[in-house]
Chains A and B, each alone.
Chain A
Amino acid sequence: MSKPVPTPPDHAASSAQHSIDQLQDRIRDLEQTAHDTGQNLDLALGPLREQLQELHSQKLPSRWERVQLARTAGRPTALDYAEWICTDFVELHGDRVYGDDQALIGGPAYWQGRRVMLLLQQKGRDTKDKIKRRFGSANPEGYRKAVRLMDLADKFGLPVVALIDTQGAYPGLEAEERGQGWAIAESIQRMSRLKVPAVCAVIGEGGSGGALAIGIGNRVLIMENAWYSVISPEGAASIIWKDASKAPTAAEALKLTAPDLLALGIVEEVIAEPAGGAHLNPQQAAHNLGQVVSRHLDELAQQSPEQWQQGRAERFRKLGAFEER
C-alpha cells in the first residue's frame, strides 16, 4: 500500500532518504536470496550494509534533530496548511456540552477541490495565540468536538482529513475532572466507526493518545521531520532517568521519526519536506502535503464504504510486534 515519496533531485534530505530506501530494498532482496538459495552473499552484503550505515549517520538529521525541527519556530501550523491548501474552510465551534477548545479545531472545507471534514490540532502562531490554544494540547472539549464533527462527516459523506500536531492531550486538573481519558477513547472509537474514509497526517508532533485520538485513518501519513510516539522524549527521559535533559537519548530509543515509523508499518507514507525543514519553505511543504493527501483521498474514493470501514479496522488490527510460541 505504501508508495515511495516523490523526491526532487535538489532535495538533499529526502534524496538521502531515497538512497537509503533503495539500499535497504537491495539488502533485503539479497538477504532473501541468501535465505532462499542457501548461498553465502556476505561478501556482497557487507559493503552495502556499511554504505547504509554511512548514509544513516552522515546524511540524515539525528532523531533528536528531527524532534527539534518539528518544534522549530516558523514551522507551519495546521491552520497555516489548511489556509494554503483548502478553500472555503468554515470553522465550526463547540462540543455542545461544555466549551469550545482552541487546540483542536475543525469544520468542512474543500481540500484542493475535494469536500472534506477537517480536524486540526492547532498550536498557535504568536505567544498570545499559543497560550489561548495551550500550545496545541486539547482539553476533553476538543476531542468531544472532534466526535461531533465526525458525526457530521458521516451524515454528509465528507471524508475526514486530520492534521496532527500536539505534544499530547492537556494534563490539567479540569481536563481530568471532565474525563480526558474518556474523551480520547470516545474519539478513537468514533473515528474507527466512520462510514467515510479518513486520511491523517502528522505534520509536526504526534504525542501519545492525544495525537492518536484523531489518528485512526485509512491512511496515516507523516511529514519528513515530524515525530509520533507513545510519549514525548522529555516524558520518557523523566521516567527513565528522572531527568528531562536526557531527551535526546530518549528520542533515539523511542524510534519516533518518520523513517522509523515507515519501517514499523505505522505510517503508509512519508511526505517530503523542503531541504532543511518545512519552516524554510512553507509553501513547498504545503504543496507536498496537499498533493499527497489528495492522492490518498482520490485512491480511497475508488473504494466502497465497506472497504473504508473494514480497511481501517484491518489496518490497525495488524499493528504490533510479537511472536507465537
Chain B
Amino acid sequence: MALDRFFPRRKPQVNRAEQDTPDLWAKCPKCKANIYLRELEQQLYVCPKCGFHNRVNPQKRADVLLDGPLEVWSGHIWPVDALEFHDTETYPDRLKRAQQKTGRPDAILTGRGELDGLPVALAIMDFEFSGGSMGSVVGEEIARAAERAAAEGIPFVLVAASGGARMQESALSLMQMAKTTIALEGLARRGLPYISILSDPTTGGVTASLATIADVIIAEPGALIGFAGPRVIQQTIRQNLPEGFQRAEFLLTHGMVDMVTDRREQRAELSKLLRLLQARIGPKVPAKSSEAGASEAGASQPAPQEGEHHHV
C-alpha cells in the first residue's frame, strides 16, 4: 500500500531518541521478522511483513492522525490518592513511577488538531501509564475535552487503549464511566460526530462506557477488545476460548464494531467519515433546487436540539 496516498502532506517526524538509538532493528513480536526501525516508523509501527500493529504512545498516535501538531489541552490536572490505596506499594508511588515513565500526569492526552484539514478534538489513552486505566484524571480530561469539542463545534475522536477502570481509585474510577458517557452527550446534542478507535487492548470499564457509545467504532486489526478478561471468562466457563476470541475481527463478525481498519488507513477513513457525517464542513454538493439550497444553509448552523437524541 502506498503510504503517500494517505499522507500527502505529512513528513515523518523522527524524534531525537530514535535517531540516537543504537538498536536500528526491531523484531516483530508476531512474525519474528527483523525490521529496520526506520521502516517500522514509516509504516506507523505496523509490521510491513505480517501487519502486526505494535502499540504506539499518544504523541505518535497524534502524529499519525493529524496534519500538524496537536494543540494540547490536557496536562493540568493531577491524580490524588483519595482512598489512601495501598497494595503491594502505595498508589502515590505507583503514580510517580508511571509519571516518570511517560512524562505525563496521567494516562491521557487530549487536544485539538487538524485531520486532513478538518478540525478535530482528540483524546488518546496511554497504555504505558498504568495500563491506560481510567481514574478520576482520565475521566475528567476526557469529559473536559468532550465539552470543549462541543463548545467549539468540532468532532471528537477517542483512541482507546485501556485495561479498564483504575482499581486504586475504586468507586471514584467507576463513576468516570458515567461521567465520560454523560459529557459525550453534549456532542450528540449538537449533532457532532464522535468516533472511537479501539486499539489493543480496550477492555473492562472503558469498553462498558465511553469507548462503545461512539457513533462509529473503528477497531485496530488484532486488538483485544471486550468487557471481561479472557482469563476470567475461562475460569467461569471452564473451557478453552475459541481462536481469535475478543479480537477486532471477531467483534466485526459479531456486529460490535463498524470496521477493522489498518492504522495506515485510519486517517483517510476518518477524513472520509467526518466529511460525510458533518454537513457543515464537508465539500458542498451543488444544490439542484432552491429548496436544497435552503436546507443546506440550515445545516450549516445546526441548533442544539435537546429533545431529539433518542436512544438507538
Contact = CB atoms under 8 A, between A and B. Distances in A.
Contact of B77 (A189, A229, A250, A323): A323
Contacts of A185: 181, 207-213
A151 B312 CA distance: 11
Nearest to A309: B306
A96 interface: no
Contacts of B166: 230
Contact of A325 (B76, B88, B229): B76
Q: How large is the interface on B (under 10, 10 to 19, 20 to 34, 35 or more residues)?
A: 35 or more
A243 to B, nearest CB: 12
B77 A171 contact: no
24 contacts: A171-B227, A176-B226, A179-B212, A185-B207, A185-B210, A189-B181, A189-B311, A193-B309, A209-B209, A209-B227, A212-B177, A228-B174, A230-B170, A230-B171, A230-B205, A231-B167, A254-B167, A312-B182, A316-B175, A316-B178, A317-B183, A319-B175, A320-B179, A323-B80
Nearest to A195: B307
Interface of A: 147, 150-151, 169-173, 175-182, 184-186, 188-190, 192-193, 208-209, 212-213, 215-216, 228-231, 235-236, 239-241, 250, 253-256, 260-261, 264, 266, 312-313, 316-317, 319-325
Contacts of A319: 172, 175-176, 178-179
B80 A176 contact: no
A181 B205 CA distance: 8
Given A171-B228, A323-B77, A325-B76, A230 B173 contact: yes
B233 A172 contact: yes
B167 A230 contact: yes
Interface in B268-312: 309, 311
B82 interface: yes
B58 interface: no
A-B CB proximity, top 6 nearest = A171-B228, A181-B207, A320-B136, A321-B82, A181-B227, A209-B208
Contact of B182 (A171, A178, A264, A316): A316
A180 to B, nearest CB: 4
Residue of A186, A256, A322 most packed against chain B (CB within 10 A): A322
Contacts, number: 196
A188 B178 contact: yes
Nearest to A207: B174
B212 A192 contact: no
B143 to A, nearest CB: 7
B200 interface: no
A256 B86 contact: no
A67 B176 CA distance: 23
Contacts of A240: 87-88, 167
A213 B173 CA distance: 14
B92 to A, nearest CB: 12
Given A180-B208, A181-B226, A320-B139, 5 more contacts: A173-B245, A188-B177, A208-B165, A209-B227, A250-B87
B262 interface: no
Given A230-B169, A322-B136, A209 B311 contact: no
Nearest to A239: B167
Given A176-B227, A182-B256, A185-B210, A192 B178 contact: yes
B78 A184 contact: no
Contact of B233 (A150, A176, A193, A312): A176
Nearest to B207: A181
